[in-house]
Structure 1
Amino acid sequence: MCSDQPSAQPVGRGAKVRAAVHAATLAELVNKGYAALSVEHVAQRAGVHKTTVYRRWKDRESLLADALAEHMAMDIPVPDTGAIESDLRALARSIVHTFTSPNGQALLAAMFTGAAHLPEIATARRHVFDDRLARAEPVVTRAIQRGELPGGTDPAELLKTLAAPIYLRLLITADPVDETTADQAVRVTLTAARAGVLRTDSQPPL
């Protein structure tokens, strides 16, 4: 009897197992959606026994949360082009490219709709965005040191201002999202930052 479930060769232990299970989890999520995600199918795709999965993750929710957090943390290149405008453009475009891809759409759906009510997913979502902010902070710090942004510019507020119009379109309005969206977000963010409204004291320079 044939099965349409992908088969895989057995994998080793430790980090290789974790990586294989994470990859299988995301593949199942993309192909079938959160509602159809199961530990059994993930294990089969990863080439491990389901008891191997259950030894590491208590259920599909904790498995998905772990896979989402690790995937998003690894998928964040931090640009260093030598100029704040091109750095922010690279960051904004990476958000657009990530979340308009089939994989990104599935990840967004899991984090904000299908599994959004689960504490594990809420924690993973917070971890993902905290990690993204932390990784991108040096972009703002370097710009301040180069004199491109006012001293005291808050990296977290600047990066939230950059991302906000993109996520608004992705999650709420369903308006088209492309590189033009990213570039406009950069222009708005730089205008606000250079005016001093994104400083830690929230006061524009005199």
Structure 2
Amino acid sequence: MRAATLGELSRVGFAGLTVEGVARAAGVNRTTIYRRWPSKAALLAAMIEPVLERWDGDPDTGSARDDLLTLMLMIRDSTTLPEGRALTEAMTAGASELRDLLRDTINRTLAPFHRALDRAVARGQLRASTDVRVIAHLAFHGVVAWEPAHGALPTDDDCARMVRVLLPGAEQ
């Protein structure tokens, strides 16, 4: 089902995705799909779950800079996976039926950024007054928005430069 859904998404995009098309590609009846996934959004949510599971754990290198860089590289690398591409395409489609899924996905992927930066404050690597929520937001969206703005995914060096800008006084 995963391969059929991701294949259809890459072929027709979220706007053109139909349960009938996925069923045809998977060689099943559409009622088989509707039994497990009542909507296109539910189907997409199930298909991207393996990518989202990466965000349930945290890197903890002991360094604010290294943790942030690791998370930024994870975001970048996730966008190269078929599930990541499908989610990126679905986000740009602006479908109102995906609003909750997109909000939940962003919150889930931002959570380890928040935890890493909170740990850095607790370790004294960042001042207690540091606005870690804004840094997390800028790091996450800096990576996500890089490709549309620059025509390519950010390199390791690009991500490291963003970290240096976001955490200029951070201790290692």
The one of 85, 88, 106 equivalent to 1:129 is 106
Measure the CA separation in 1 of the matches of 2:134 and 2:59: 18
Measure the CA separation in 2 of the matches of 1:103 and 1:86: 26
Tell me whether 49-58 or 23-32 shows the greater mean CA deviation: 23-32
Give 5+ residue unaligned stretches, structure 2. Answer: none
Percent identity over the alignment? 33
State whether residues 69 and 124 of structure 1, in contact with CA within 8 Å, keep that contact through their aligned partners in structure 2: no
Q: Give 1 or 2: higher helix fraction.
A: 2
CA RMSD in angstroms comes to 2.7
State whether residues 96 and 179 of structure 1, in contact with CA within 8 Å, keep that contact through their aligned partners in structure 2: no
Does residue 95 of the first structure (1) align with residue 75 of the second (2)? yes
Does residue 83 of the first structure (1) align with residue 63 of the second (2)? yes
1:38-79 C-alpha deviation (Å, 9 max, x unpaired): 323433555653212212333324422x23663442133521
State whether residues 100 and 177 of structure 1, in contact with CA within 8 Å, keep that contact through their aligned partners in structure 2: no
Distance 1:183 1:29, change over 3 A: same
Displacement of 1:154: 3.5
Aligned residues: 169
Distance 1:49 1:27, change over 3 A: same
Distance 1:174 1:68, change over 3 A: farther
State whether residues 92 and 163 of structure 1, in contact with CA within 8 Å, keep that contact through their aligned partners in structure 2: yes
Partner of 1:60: 40
Displacement of 1:102: 5.2
Give the secondary structure class of the aligned counterpart of 1:40.
helix
The residue type paired with residue 40 of structure 2 is R
Measure the CA separation in 2 of the matches of 1:161 and 1:82: 21
1:122-152 C-alpha deviation (Å, 9 max, x unpaired): 2211111111122332211211111100114
Give 5+ residue unaligned stretches, structure 1. Answer: 1-20, 195-206
Displacement of 1:160: 0.9
Output the TM-score relative to the length of structure 2: 0.79
Measure the CA separation in 2 of the matches of 1:102 and 1:69: 9
Measure the CA separation in 1 of the matches of 2:4 and 2:129: 44
Displacement of 1:96: 1.6
State whether residues 34 and 110 of structure 1, in contact with CA within 8 Å, keep that contact through their aligned partners in structure 2: yes
Measure the CA separation in 1 of the matches of 2:124 and 2:86: 40
Measure the CA separation in 1 of the matches of 2:7 and 2:50: 12
Partner of 1:158: 135
Output the TM-score relative to the length of structure 1: 0.68
Partner of 1:42: 22
Q: In terms of Rg, which structure is larger?
A: 1
